[in-house]
Amino acid sequence: MADVYFNNPQRRTQLIGANTTVIVAGRRTGKTDSIASPFVLRNMQRMSGSTGGIVVPTFKHGLTNTIPGLLAAWKRWGFLNGVHYVVGRKPPKGFQTAIIEPTDYEHVISFYNGSRAIIISQDRPGSSNSLTLSWLLIDEAKFIDYERLKDETLPANGGIKSYFGKHSFNHSILILSDMPQTKKGSWFLHYEDKMDKELIATIEATVCEIWKVKQRIKNDRAAGKTPPEYLRKHLRHLDKQLNQMRSVAVYYKEYSSIENLQLLGETYIKQMKRDLTPLTFQTSILCQRIGIAKDGFYSSMREAHYYDASNFEYLDAMWADLAATGELLTLPTTVQQDSDVVPDMPLYIGMDYNANINWIVAGQPVGKRLNVVKSFYTKFERKIPALIADFCAYYETHQNKTVVFYYDTTALGSNYAVNEQDFRWVVVLLQIS
């Protein structure tokens, strides 16, 4: 296998190996690829027959982000779907059994050594009911409902001490996210106060000392010498100490995307600064803590205004494709993945017109409630015609072809985003065509 590159956040997280690890990092720092993937692989490899949980805010997120990232990294490291593990189906003959087998395998990754990883999505009620887990990966933590996590999932992470009590990573938790923008989404930031910095520093020093001792032993053997017995005893003593410290350690760290500059390049950072809003850039790229401004335009937005609406029948069919073929298909951008759209009702849209960015927000009234079912946007060289094309492609299978278009004076007499026609007629004509 070729050499594997890990950036500083990835290496540091793996070497410290704390029982509870919280990494808050900007986009493209490789959180799923080279922090989550080694964590899950280590636990499943070294705790044969164990069961762990991969917690995601929605099944759609797990299907499109978390699971593909894990499988892609494992494939690079030589672990193949259908050979070393299977997804979404009963393990084949030759695979070892788990200590506690799941009741069904629909949302389970099964390793050859009997280890299992169960996908726990918070938009599917009861995903973690009656589970006995030995580890947890919590992805996109800023979107996780902490009350549900605390009541339903964390108590399941009790593991089986009689089997895995010797491992420092038994009952381990890895929490990953970029910087949250809401109070509710900030539930994991308090782990910073739980971290014993002196303990983490001692772990780092012990890891360094172990490396030095191993190098001395390696050099002796290369020179044809027998390493002194006291070195081997010292190494065993250090390993034991390190395991004990890791088993009680809490490690919290924040990283900006710039930490991965060697791979991302300066152009990516500059592009993100240009394309993203200042708030999103500061939180998602620079990983800075910023609360909602009291006088901000969206200061009244609260978590109660958001909801999830995944079409599980459609998403399960995509998951079944992974189980059958071993390759996860890219989810088509279609209304079929949404469960909150009423097929025989019109779509109601509003738009924003700008030289650099254009928006469509689509909704449907249900009684006294307005469900905002989708938003679309284009930037820079992609103008309103491209935006309308995206909208029409997404809703191509929608039964009711009526679109109610709300506009104000900004759609009249203006043409800087298209041509000599004003925005109103451009939108109307494009949708008709």
The pLDDT of residue 327 is 62
The pLDDT of residue 29 is 87
Q: What percent of the chain has pLDDT over 90?
A: 41
The pLDDT of residue 237 is 95
Cα dihedral 370, 373, 379, 385 sign = negative
Burial class of residue 306 in the structure, from the number of CB atoms within 10 Å of its CB (0-12 exposed, 13-18 middle, 19+ buried): exposed
Contact 24, 287 (CB under 8 A): yes
Q: What average pLDDT score do residues 255-266 get?
A: 80
The pLDDT of residue 263 is 74
Q: 391 in helix, strand or coil?
A: helix
The pLDDT of residue 189 is 94
Distance separating the N- and C-terminal Cα atoms of the chain = 54
Do the bridges between strand 250-255 and strand 20-25 make them parallel or antiparallel, or are there none, so unpaired? Answer: parallel
Q: What average pLDDT score do residues 66-70 get?
A: 89
Which residues on neighbouring strands pair with residue 55, listed in sequence order?
120, 138
Q: 106 in helix, strand or coil?
A: coil
- List pLDDT tens digits, range 319-366: 777 666 656 556 667 888 888 888 899 999 888 877 678 888 999 998
| Amino acid at the residue 318 | M
Of the ranges 57-71, 104-118, 414-428, which one carries the lowest mean pLDDT score? Answer: 414-428
Query: What pTM did the predictor assign?
Result: 0.76
pLDDT at 275 over 70: yes
Record the tokens describing residue 107, joined without a space.
Answer: 């949302």
pLDDT at 111 over 90: yes
The H or E element containing residue 105 is none
- List pLDDT tens digits, range 131-141: 889 999 999 99
pLDDT band, residue 104 (cuts 50/70/90): confident
The pLDDT of residue 235 is 93
Q: What percent of the chain has pLDDT over 70?
A: 88
Record the tokens describing residue 115, joined without a space.
Answer: 């280890």
Contact 234, 213 (CB under 8 A): yes
CA–centroid distance for 88 within its chain? 19
Burial class of residue 144 in the structure, from the number of CB atoms within 10 Å of its CB (0-12 exposed, 13-18 middle, 19+ buried): buried
